[in-house]
Structure 1
Amino acid sequence: MPKREVYISADVEADGPIPGPYSMQSFGLSACGTFDGHTFTPTDPTKDTFYAELKPITDTYVPEAVAVSGLKHDRLAAEGRDPAEAMNAASAWVAEVAATAGASPVLVAYPLGFDWMFLYWYWMRFTDTGSPFGHSRHLDLKTLYATKANTMVTRSTKRQMPAELLSDRPHTHNALDDAIEQAELFHNLVRWAGPPK
């Protein structure tokens, strides 16, 4: 087992609240740093990325969810990548990033639950190898903030975080843009000592 971790920021756009009845429309991954147990080394999150738009797996969708991403169901049905092909390609990308870093991959997201639920379900459903992060190598940035800020999870929204923790990038609801934005939040959170005493 490598003695380092490589962090991969992930963001998902979906056409409903859960995978199976609904589809993952797109996802973005951004390699954003390593940690050896002592030192965190951030990397430029724009340099090593993965992005895919997927064919829907059902005809069911929530119009309000589709409106968030702007990804049209009909266009994805015609032009999106096959889920098995995309998830296998993403697994291969994660494996390459991890091998290059000599590290175990760890997925980071804000909040983790939604993104992990879709990615893990799709990896388990559509690939032979399963999740490249196993079932538990992931880190929730909302929990990281709540712990460092010594505050409740319900008070750990981005609106309630100090401005210096947030990325200057806009939140576009393009999964890759948002994964990169989130990677910068992760960099800032790791370095942050917490609120003034």
Structure 2
Amino acid sequence: MAKAEFYVSADVEADGPIPGPFSMSSFGLAVAGVRRGGVFEAGDPAERTFYAELKPISDAYDAEALAVGGLDRGVLAREGQEPARAMNDAAAWLAGVAGELAATPVFVAYPLGYDWMWMYWYFMRFAEAGSPFGHSRCMDLKTLYAARAAVPLSEATKRSMPGHLLSSRPHTHNALDDAIEQAELFQNLMRWEAAV
């Protein structure tokens, strides 16, 4: 029997295009549900969450990228968590949820590439045990929609999705808000019987 998995919706705000030269400003994680024995069980994504704001790791930043999340870089430099603490705390939180649910974590995002790149790099660089998701336990919601709707990836945009798939929550660019919103999109995609 396949091991149970729980799906963690993740959202990242950062001050540039790539980790290393630039910094992750904040990230949010929200548990969207569990799959046991082939059956998906959705949960309230606001029930199990993790959020952190981080100190910058370099002096470089892109003002436009930083502005998206609305966080003040000076405040983050003074009051943000050290990256090692934030990533180890996130890993411990994920381990606690894994134990509680008796399931393995899977990272989900829309689109996956950006958020996974940041989180994987930060976990590998700063967390003592590396990535709680391994190097590949991740799912791209854009690809999931394209496959379920039988459309090209270029047409797998939120604007082209049926309205009932989208969350009713606003997209605020707060990493935790957006992780919760995205978790609802994931739940809807998992339950969707596409008419193709």
TM-score range, shorter chain: over 0.9
For residue 62 of structure 1, what is the aligned residue in structure 2? 62
For residue 152 of structure 1, what is the aligned residue in structure 2? 152
Aligned CA-pair RMSD: 1.1
User: TM-score, normalization: structure 1?
Assistant: 0.97
How far off its partner does 1:27 sit? 0.1
How far off its partner does 1:85 sit? 0.3
For residue 189 of structure 1, what is the aligned residue in structure 2? 189
Contact residue 27 and residue 51 of structure 1 kept, 8 A? yes
For residue 33 of structure 2, what is the aligned residue in structure 1? 33
| Distance in 2 (alpha carbons) for counterparts of 1:56 and 1:157 | 31
Partner amino acid, structure 1, of 2:7: Y
Partner amino acid, structure 2, of 1:50: F
Aligned identity (percent) is 63
Partner amino acid, structure 2, of 1:89: D
How far off its partner does 1:37 sit? 3.7
Contact residue 2 and residue 37 of structure 2 kept, 8 A? no
Alignment of 1:36-55 (within 5 A): 36-55=36-55
State the SS of the aligned residue for 1:106: strand
For residue 167 of structure 1, what is the aligned residue in structure 2? 167
User: TM-score, normalization: structure 2?
Assistant: 0.98
How far off its partner does 1:2 sit? 7.3
| Distance in 2 (alpha carbons) for counterparts of 1:153 and 1:2 | 29
Alignment of 1:46-195 (within 5 A): 46-194=46-194
Q: List runs of 5+ in structure 1 lacking aligned partners.
A: none
State the SS of the aligned residue for 2:26: strand
| Distance in 1 (alpha carbons) for counterparts of 2:153 and 2:53 | 31
State the SS of the aligned residue for 1:29: strand
Contact residue 31 and residue 45 of structure 2 kept, 8 A? yes
Partner amino acid, structure 2, of 1:55: K
Partner amino acid, structure 1, of 2:88: N
Contact residue 2 and residue 102 of structure 1 kept, 8 A? no
Contact residue 50 and residue 93 of structure 1 kept, 8 A? yes
